[in-house]
Amino acid sequence: MEIIRISAAGIACVLAAIFMKTAKPEYSVYLTMAAGLFILAFAVGKFSYLYESLKKIQQYVPVDTTYMNILMKMIGITYIGQFSAGICKDAGYSAVAGQIEIYERLAVLAISMPILTALLETIHAFLG
């Protein structure tokens, strides 16, 4: 199972970063960034699998391609935002991390507006 390998690698990097923090604090930040990029490489594979699965679902359920693309963008925004905010928190910049998280939420909300609009139009047509 990949989650065991990812978790073990993450824990090993955290332990190494804790050890490095006493000797060279700046290297511990680089080590956590490297661990994050390592895990990101695995996540990209999962994103492509998720995208292909959504395409298969589209064959069985008639869903507009626009909505599937929006869903993938939302997943990407969330992952990148959390990844960046986590690195900022590890480096000790919680205020910047908080701003990234707020922007991430606003971006997801903004990108989801076409879905909300379509839902409201469907409800209006159904009731009216």
Per the structure block, which two tokens stand in for 122?
Answer: 């469907």
Average pLDDT, the chain: 89
Task: Please list the helix, strand and coil fractions of the chain in percent, rounded to the nearest 5, in that order.
Answer: 90, 0, 10
Q: Where are the chain's structural domains?
A: 63-128
For helices 25-60 and 65-90, the axis angle rounded to 10 degrees is: 170
Q: What is the pLDDT of residue 31?
A: 87
Q: What is the pLDDT of residue 106?
A: 97
pLDDT tens sequence across 63-99 = 788 888 898 899 999 999 998 998 889 888 999 999 9
Does pLDDT of 36 surpass 90?
Answer: no
Sign of CA dihedral 11, 14, 20, 22: negative
Confidence of residue 120 (pLDDT cuts 50, 70, 90): very high
